[in-house]
């Protein structure tokens, strides 16, 4: 537990530092995390079947492109040219024919690379755009994810009795879920109301923050289901007692994807 707490403190310090240094530093950091996240997706997939080397190289380049595309933008629109999208799809699917060996590279491999590249690239690009729009907004989302996860863990250990999704994540409990949401909503909504917009409707703010907190925990379960499918405890061992990038940012990814649905409301 001490190692876990120390690692968490170091992680928070790094994120706070990157938040404050500036937009460019934050964008580069998100680009690095996106590459590491894709590497973890590929690594866990390769526990069952390896990808051709060049396809992995192209995937890393593609996810970096998607993450840093128009990184100075402050508009919540992902406007990659369809020409680029077509090129990416062709680049992953056409090699199926040229490699001509389903054991080395097949349609499942191609679609996995297309999906994971777009999913990770767009998610981290959106984090960059939110940071560009307003630093306080990214802190708000970070608080939802971090406080919810932290108090879900503590609540589950203290009073957890009923399993939430035992076949996906055996340690998660209904009590932990509720405790995480309650604390996440109180802390994040208070921050938003006091720092970002004191004029916002409290009912609306609490409702949206509640939805984002719940979606974040569902995102955690989605990533847990991926690990369960591949028989892995963590995506990697990059962070002591925490796992990898995707283990730590799974809920934040879903929170920011859900936030884009509500950003014009609050």
Contact between 118 and 149 under an 8 Å Cβ cutoff? The reply is no
Confidence at residue 1, expressed as pLDDT on a 0 to 100 scale: 60
- Of 51-55, 72-76, 237-241, the range with the highest mean pLDDT is 51-55
Instruction: Give yes or no for residue 138 having a pLDDT over 90.
Output: yes
C-alpha 107/C-alpha 55 separation (Å) is 13
Cα 12 → chain centroid: 16
Radius of gyration of the chain from its Cα atoms, rounded to whole angstroms: 19
pLDDT tens digit sequence for 101-130:
999 999 999 999 999 999 999 999 999 999
Instruction: Give yes or no for residue 32 having a pLDDT over 90.
Output: yes
| Residue percentage of the chain with pLDDT more than 70 | 96
Give me 37's structure tokens.
């996240």
Contact between 118 and 62 under an 8 Å Cβ cutoff? The reply is no
Q: Which of 40, 74, 68, 85 is nearest to 125 (CA)?
A: 68
What length is written for the chain?
266
C-alpha 60/C-alpha 63 separation (Å) is 5
> What is the DSSP secondary structure assignment for residue 166, as one 8-state letter?
T
DSSP secondary structure of 171-237: EEEHHHHHHHHHHHHHHHHHHIIIII-TTS-HHHHHHHHHHHHHHHHHHHHHHHHHHHHHT-S-S-S
Q: Which of 19, 66, 16 is nearest to 38 (CA)?
A: 66
Contact between 30 and 128 under an 8 Å Cβ cutoff? The reply is yes
The pTM for the full model equals 0.91
| Residue percentage of the chain with pLDDT more than 90 | 67
Instruction: Give yes or no for residue 2 having a pLDDT over 80.
Output: no
pLDDT tens digit sequence for 178-206:
999 999 999 999 999 999 999 999 999 99
SS3 of 23, please? helix
Within a 10 A sphere around the Cβ of 146, how many other Cβ atoms?
22
Q: Which of 134, 142, 169, 155 is nearest to 251 (CA)?
A: 142
Confidence at residue 239, expressed as pLDDT on a 0 to 100 scale: 80
Within a 10 A sphere around the Cβ of 97, how many other Cβ atoms?
8
Q: Which of 71, 65, 73 is nearest to 26 (CA)?
A: 71
SS3 of 238, please? coil
Burial of 145 per CB tally in 10 Å (0-12, 13-18, 19+): buried
Helix (H) or strand (E) holding 94: none
Instruction: Give yes or no for residue 3 having a pLDDT over 80.
Output: no
Instruction: Give yes or no for residue 255 having a pLDDT over 70.
Output: yes
Contact between 25 and 241 under an 8 Å Cβ cutoff? The reply is no
Confidence at residue 9, expressed as pLDDT on a 0 to 100 scale: 79
Confidence at residue 108, expressed as pLDDT on a 0 to 100 scale: 94
């Amino acid at each position: 537990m001490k190692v876990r707490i120390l690692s968490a403190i170091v992680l928070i310090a790094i994120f706070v530092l990157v938040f404050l240094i500036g937009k460019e530093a934050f964008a580069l950091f998100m680009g690095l995390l996106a590459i590491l996240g894709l590497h973890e997706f590929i690594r866990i997939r390769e526990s069952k079947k390896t990808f051709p080397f060049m396809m992995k190289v192209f995937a890393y380049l593609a996810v970096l492109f998607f993450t840093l595309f128009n990184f100075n933008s402050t508009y919540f629109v992902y406007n990659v040219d369809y020409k680029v999208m077509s090129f990416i799809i062709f680049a992953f699917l056409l090699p199926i024919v040229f490699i001509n060996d389903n054991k080395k590279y097949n349609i499942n491999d191609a679609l996995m690379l297309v999906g994971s590249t777009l999913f990770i690239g767009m998610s981290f690009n959106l984090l960059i755009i939110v940071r560009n729009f307003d630093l306080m907004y990214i802190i708000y989302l970070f608080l939802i994810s971090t406080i919810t996860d932290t108090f879900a863990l503590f609540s589950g250990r203290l009073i957890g009795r009923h399993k939430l999704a035992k076949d996906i994540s055996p340690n998660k409990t209904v009590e932990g879920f509720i405790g995480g949401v309650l604390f996440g909503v109180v802390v994040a909504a208070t921050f938003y109301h006091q720092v970002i917009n004191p004029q916002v409707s409290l009912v609306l703010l609490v409702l949206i923050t509640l939805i984002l907190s719940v979606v974040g925990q569902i995102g955690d379960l989605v990533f847990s289901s991926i690990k369960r499918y591949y028989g892995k405890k963590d995506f990697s061992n990059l962070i002591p007692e925490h796992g990898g990038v995707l283990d730590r940012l799974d809920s934040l990814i879903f929170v920011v994807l859900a936030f884009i649905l509500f950003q014009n409301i609050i």
